[in-house]
Amino acid sequence: MDQILFVQTGTGIDVHGQNITKAAVRAVEDAILPNSMPGIEKTLPDHSTENMKVNVRLAVPLDRQQVDKQEVKKVIPFGSATVEITEGGMATSSGVILEEENDDNDLMYIVNAAVEVGY
């Protein structure tokens, strides 16, 4: 990405089931869903969202290799997306194991996302 226009941040949590992709998707949604970019096309080359680049950085506490990057990319509505995964986030006790929620243990996964938008 040659030019970053803005960065949005978010947090996603999977309380039960230890699904790191679900937490990652929620973090990206938290970063982008409350925003509107009505003038973004005017700042992009050729005034087209096809030229928009989006870099998603995820801070993931455990199971980093299990993050489904393609599922994360599906959350990005415009442009071409890349996904980077780094160590971070948090795994902490939810206080209970719920077999009906497919818990393997009592951990909840917390993922942080930084979504860079530019061209």
pTM exceeds cut of 0.85 = yes
Q: Spell out the residues 6+ positions from residue 65 whose beta carbon is closer than 8 angstroms to its own.
A: none
Domain 4-118 has CATH 3.30.1330.20: yes
Reading the block at residue 32, the tokens are 């982008």
- Measured in whole angstroms, the distance separating CA 71 from the mean position of its chain's CA atoms is 10
| Residue range 30-39, pLDDT digits in tens | 999 999 989 9
Instruction: Give the span between the Cα atoms of 53 and 74, in whole angstroms.
Output: 14
Instruction: Give the span between the Cα atoms of 60 and 83, in whole angstroms.
Output: 12
Of 87, 98, 96, give the one whose Cα is nearest residue 20: 87
| Residue range 55-81, pLDDT digits in tens | 999 999 999 999 999 999 999 999 999
